[in-house]
Amino acid sequence: MSEFEDIKKDFPIFNREVNSKKLTYLDSGATAQKPQSVIDAMNNVYTNTNANVHRGTYVLSAETTHLYEDVRKKCKKFLNAYHSDEIIFTKGATEGFNLLANSISKKFLKPGDEILLTEIEHHANIIPWQMVASQYDLQIKYIAVDENFSIDLEDLKEKISSKTKVVSITGESNLSGLLPDIKLIRSLVREHSDALFILDGAQLVPHRKVDVQALGIDFIIFSGHKLLGPTGIGVVWGRLDLLNQLGPVSGGGDMIEEVYYDRATWAPVPHKFEAGTPPYVEAIGLGAAIDYLENITMEKVSQHSDTLREYAQEIFTDIDRVNVIHTNEEFAGCTFSMYVDQIHATDISLMLDTYGVAVRAGHHCVQPFHRKLGIDATFRATGYIYNDENDLDIFKDALLGSIEMLG
């Protein structure tokens, strides 16, 4: 824990108080706080180099273009991608799923083909597939989750077939912290189908070292703002041979090679997927966030998550009336969704805020699974690198006080 004891000093937001209490932030599953280095990197662009990227023949444009394109190289290294051209910038993970759902369906799928998801997917990995399923007459199936909130591999084997053309699953559940065995699931998919394998890395990438080559996946999607970076930036990584086959979803400037009044040709990957002025300042902020995490090392980041999770399990499980939705798998993330008998999750969250404790209440964009469990809402505490055991102790005391107040 020693490397993380003073880490809050790098995050200016922790200098403030909330309701006259020191801020205890436990909502990193929704968005992470930003270190000063990320804020400085973005301010530097606006202050010193700001100009639109690509094709500018003057110094400012060249400097900003270099900073922007250099982030692809950082992402390549961060994910161990095969080539920096495999890195596509989007405005977030949700846009990434919409991009893939539309481009894959148009190019590779035909009526009757099946898409396989799990019961605990984020809405961003459900709704885009529902939309294209309706448009292209596709079928969606959902792999069951067992009583341990883990993916039921026998149900996977039962539902996958030669009709399965896309398997898209979470890399880390934003509800239970589940870390699926991606290599095992990928091998089962390959054994029973020729489906494309997509990984939702929105929760996984900020907390674990991800090696796309070792995992053997086809695509991964993640958000910048959950990775200490800014909002408005996300990444789609895909194998270059697949990206070369896919067509663009959005049209406009910068994604073209030649334009005529009656036709156009597309720029090479990755630019054919990035229409218009890209979020270049946000991308540069993402690059600074990756630098920050790489300086710590992702191995230490994941170790810290594991340490926090073990401590949280000790102190959360014995609180009267508190029900915790958290997998008991050996490896899981520091994500704990809970509900209190006879008290609504929103009331708990509002009361915790009076103690300066920030947690999220609702269905966390996993509404179908909440509905399956018969739960209207949960409140969720998620830890990250700037959290420690003291934060969890504060949370527990605040939770006990909130339950006493609310009755």
- Main-chain dihedrals φ then ψ at residue 336, nearest 5 degrees: -130, 110
**Residue 161 CB neighbour total at 10 angstroms:** 13
CA distances from 116 to 191, 217, 396 (A): 15, 15, 38
CA distance 105 to 198: 13
Instruction: State yes or no: is 75 an active-site residue.
Output: no
Half-sphere exposure of 267 (CA within 13 A, CB side): 17
Distance CA 298, CA 151 (A): 25
Distance of alpha carbon 1 from the chain centroid? 25
Residues 334/376, Cβ–Cβ less than 8 Å = no
Would you list the DSSP string of 335-370? EEEEEETTB-HHHHHHHHHTTTEE-EEE-TT-HHHH
Q: How far is CA 202 from CA 96, 189, 226, in A?
A: 11, 22, 7
Catalytic member of 62, 365, 375, 406: 365
Active site residues: 365
